[in-house]
Structure 1
Amino acid sequence: MRTHSLVPSVLLIGALSLTAACSSGVPDVRSSAAESASAATAGSVHVVDPSKIKGLRIVSDSSEQQSCAFATSYPEVPGAEAMTAVMKKDVERRLATFRSAGCASGAEGPEFNISLHFLVASGDVLGVRLTTQDTSAAGSGLSSATYWYDGKAGAYRTALGLIADASRDAFLTEVESRLKGRDGVDGTALDSTFADQAERAAVLDDMEFTANGGLRLTFDRGDVGVPAAGVYVVVLPSATVTPWLSAFGARVQRQTGTPSSTLDLGATHTPEPAVPTHTASGDDDTDCAQVKCIALTFDDGPAVPETGTLLTHLAQYKARATFFTVGQNVAAHPDLVRAEARAGHEVGNHSWSHPDLTKLTSEQIAYQLNRTSAAIKAATGKEPTVFRPPYGAVDAHVKAATTLSPVLWDVDTEDWKYRDATKVARTVIGKAERNDVVLMHDIHPTSVAAVPEILRVLTAQGFHFVTVSHLRSTL
């Protein structure tokens, strides 16, 4: 991905998590009709189940401030520390730029979002795509890049690392030939881009194999043509690209088409996250019309190991809470979501990748929420009935796109901003009133660390901890 300085095109962030759809043969909403037809010929790939990746941790960060809205995530996989370090650096650099420049740009409601999608996690290879939406940036602000890890060599690889050095020229010539002549592509400018090593690496940063061995290259808007022309897709058939692959590329191609049952990146230690086994004794019979109730809510999880620790804290006080979960995290850690439900907590929907829903089309809103509800049902056997709109951004358009009931909050701990357990606890204890809904995040260790003090003090003050839906039903 590279920074664009051309005229913006009009597309919103519904495409953030739809890179997953592209990988299964469903056209990305970033694409034009012609690009969609091209993508459809690319062939499908096997869907990666992230819950099977041992020791996986999704590193997440977010704000709840609409004036500077951001949500980022990237995976941390044991053995692939070199790749994790590159993703971490890229995410933090881009987020820092957004927070210092984008949030001060004067743009109305700027938003920054990085979502993740696993391309392959099999044998000794790992592939991840990170998709970025920055509404404060020039152009569409939408871009994507793939990251690769070679477990056999113990090394991070760029997308171009899929191609052997000796075959690089032939590969580039073929890609150029398939781009030239397309509407919006300036052949002279393309020659210049591909001739410059840095520019070439920046635009050839999103590649993936299809199940039939072809190589699909996706170029962000403005990378190789005018932004108005949209995203360009080039698909090289297996017979064409296979002779040009590096040894690593050949293994990725093979593991994409015929995945192994395990992933082994040579990790010396694979942590096994603790999954609490607390079980609710029965339905909650608390009558909030007769006693003081409060609903603690936790957004953005599940997270390892924070959510497991939080469940243990809550069990010690027999407290119930509501977890507004992010779909891509549910897919990675369904065992923790099951543990939440088993312990009597409510599992709510917080979208698939945490976009501002008010900026999406009805179809994109439905995709974000329905996909998450399906993941929750797969984990717990029960579909959620409530959702928390990211950033609290909800309007009539969003409400009309879903049957879920929106839930906001009365007490905002701002724990995403203040990573201080003592401050978070004091905020809740100092502001808590009867029937309040409290906003916290179980992705932050400091927030989880604040919970025992909150439970201790508010219990002593006569509060009962219930789920949002229970609070609503008894008032």
Structure 2
Amino acid sequence: MPRRALAPVLLLLGSLALTAACSTGSSPADSAPSPDGRSGTGGNDTGTQVDLTRLKGVSIVSDSSTDRSCPWATSYPDVPGADKVTAAMKKDVEGRLAVFLGTDIGGPPSCGGSPGADGSEGPELNVSFSFLVASGDVLGVRLATVDRTSNADGVDTRAYWYDGAAKKYRPSSGLIADDSRDAFVSALKKRLLKREGVTSDTVEASLGDRENRDAYLDDMAFTADGDLKVDFDRGTVGVPPAGRISVTLPKSTVTPWLSDFGSRAQQQTTDPDDKLDLGAAHTPAPTVAAQPDPGEDTTDCSQAKCIALTFDDGPAAPETGTLLKYLAQYKARATFFVVGQNVATHPDIVRAEMKSGHEIANHSWNHPVLTNLTPAQIRSQLERTTAAIKDATGQEPTLFRPPYGAIDDRVKAATSLSPVLWDVDTLDWKSHDPAKVAQTVISQAEPNDVVLVHDIHPTSVAAVPEILRTLTARGYHFVTVSHLRATL
């Protein structure tokens, strides 16, 4: 698309979205596994189940591409004191990405090497997270992966547990005492055999081997009532057409089988403490402070040289806080396209962005390719993020940026938010070099351009002072996307 044709097209897309908007909503759980039966997948749209105010000093380890031909996005939390569980998640996420890109076997990236399993979707890898428990000396995190190059449905979920008392990473099977494993598995088998699509052969193939069965028991967590819910990926305990299958064992049944850690995890789920204390050696980072609001922006972008810096995929700690300081030094305004799961974890940073005079916009809940989702899933992705933004700031966003720029009529019809793409892509996810990122913007930017940067990368944030300094000297004004549109 020609550069100068972009702004009118964006305005047109926004008006089309407004006229075609769907007012019906979907439950935040429309894509989470359902209780004791068949589970939906929802394009990796997982939900937060704990009070995140208990989390202090947490940072989100995120990375993604902007390459629509090879879209991938990964994220997982790094919680102070839980280094071993962070290392386990890091190893698994990096391994999945290497397999998806083909770099695990050497040679150039192949991006999965093939289209989606049904032939209608291109390759995509998305790894997102949700907190299961964050209380007392217990931390539980679920990673949900969608890999559209998989031969199954491409959805994999796994729970990671940390025992703060023992300072150990625990797999899901660690919730059950060693001498109770056989009784626990026997009860699971009986319930599974009542499910459609499950046979004794499919169950024995996964759970019959004592040495290997823990690999299939990798996603277990407690409900708010203390029941134990066990989720199985498609094709593991049943035939593939049966989809994902879950079994819930009542509290009264499962409690006698729990390990010491499992008992504490159950208690911290049903009756959580006021805070999470994993014995972290370092003090959590302080809350990000808002910078002085530069006040009303009177810039007329039809007369002055304007540029809209946009920052995707945050908020991130401490990177976004550093970025706010750089922007304040030049009284520059920016637009932050935030990811919902990060907003829920860092609402204080989003509030600081708004109070510093910047615009907050929607970038989906966990960065999937929206055009690969159903209308209900698209609405859930955007509505949950809008709700998280409103909870943090008191205001709802009016703009959204579809991850990878992937947008079609179904996406536009699913929301009243106005879409925003970009003119200049710094490709900062490829080049973690501040000088190169800065030079890309300085050499390519023209008046009224929208520039794409990511505030999840320290190297990208480090490039911002040079961008601000050089373009300010050239007479540019840094404005929000909404101000740019309103004054052109």
Q: TM-score scaled to structure 1, two decimals? A: 0.90
In angstroms, what is the RMSD of aligned CA positions? 1.9
**In structure 2, how many angstroms separate the alpha carbons of the residues matched to 1:299 and 1:197?**
46
1:62 aligned to which of 58, 61, 64 = 64
The equivalent residue for 2:425 is: 412
Contact 2:202 2:236 in 1 (8 A): no
Counterpart of 1:293 (choices 290, 295, 306) is 306
Moved more, 186-195 or 50-59: 186-195
Structure 1 residue matching 2:380: 3-state secondary structure = helix
Q: Indicate how the Cα distance of structure 1 residues 230 and 32 shifts in structure 2: closer, same or farther if over 3 A, else same.
A: farther
1:242 lines up with 2:255 in the alignment:
yes
Q: Say if 1:117 and 1:130, in contact at 8 Å, map to a contact too.
A: yes
CA distance in 2, matches of 1:66, 1:320: 28
Correspondent of 1:105 among 93, 97, 113: 113
AA paired with 1:130?
A: L
Which residue number in structure 2 is paired with residue 83 of structure 1? Answer: 85
Q: What is the Cα deviation at residue 265 of structure 1? A: 0.6
Measure the CA separation in 1 of the matches of 2:30 and 2:441. 45
Q: How far apart are residue 360 of structure 1 and its match?
A: 1.0
C-alpha change, 1:33 and 1:375, in structure 2 (3 Å) is same
3-state SS, counterpart of residue 462 of structure 2: helix
Deviation at 1:389, TM superposition (A): 0.4
1:386-409 deviation per Cα after TM superposition (whole angstroms, max 9, x unaligned): 000000001111011000000000
Match of 1:398 among 411, 420, 431: 411
- Does residue 381 of structure 1 match 2:415? no
TM alignment of 1:267-306, pairs within 5 A: 267-273=280-286, 275-306=288-319
CA distance in 1, matches of 2:432, 2:202: 47
* Paired residue secondary structure (2:411): helix
Q: Residues 225-236 of structure 1: matches in 2 within 5 Å?
A: 225-236=238-249
Unaligned 5+ residue runs, structure 1? 1-19, 38-44
Judged with a 3 Å threshold, the aligned counterparts in structure 2 of structure 1 residues 223 and 183 are, in CA distance, closer, same or farther, namely same
Q: Are 1:119 and 2:122 an aligned pair?
A: no
Instruction: Note the alpha carbon deviations across 1:23-70, whole angstroms, 9 max, x for none.
Output: xxx564666995369xxxxxxx99313243011111101011111101
Deviates more, 1:150-159 or 1:104-113: 104-113
Q: 2:39–2:244: 8 Å Cα contact kept in structure 1? A: no
Q: What is the SS of the residue equivalent to 2:212?
A: helix
Give the Cα–Cα distance (whole angstroms) in 2 for the partners of residues 181 and 406 of structure 1.
47
Partners of 2:193 and 2:200 within 8 A in 1: yes
Supply the distance in 2 between the matched residues of 1:71 and 1:192 (Cα, whole angstroms): 33
* 1:213-249 Cα deviation digits (max 9, x unpaired): 1101111111101110111111111111000000000
Alpha carbons of structure 1 residues 365 and 174: separation in structure 2 relative to 1, 3 Å: same
Structure 2 gap segments, 5+ residues each:
1-26, 41-46, 103-108, 116-120
Q: Within 1, Cα distance between the matches of 2:221 and 2:56?
A: 23
Q: Secondary structure at the match of 1:266?
A: coil
Q: Which residue does the alignment assign to 2:349?
A: 336
Residue type matched to 2:436 in 1?
K
2:67 maps to a residue whose letter is: Q
1:11 corresponds to: none
Q: 2:313–2:337: 8 Å Cα contact kept in structure 1?
A: yes
The one of 73, 83, 100 equivalent to 1:71 is: 73
Task: Give 3-state SS (helix, strand or coil) of 1:427's partner.
Answer: helix
Question: Following superposition of structure 1 onto structure 2, how do residues 196-275 of structure 1 map, counting pairs within 5 Å?
Answer: 196-197=209-210, 199-273=212-286, 275=288
- The yes-or-no answer on 1:194 pairing with 2:207 is yes
Aligned residue pair count:
445
Cα distance, 1:375 vs structure 2: 0.7
Alignment-derived partner of residue 464 in structure 1: 477
Matched, 1:35 2:38: yes
Change (3 A) 1:168 1:308: same
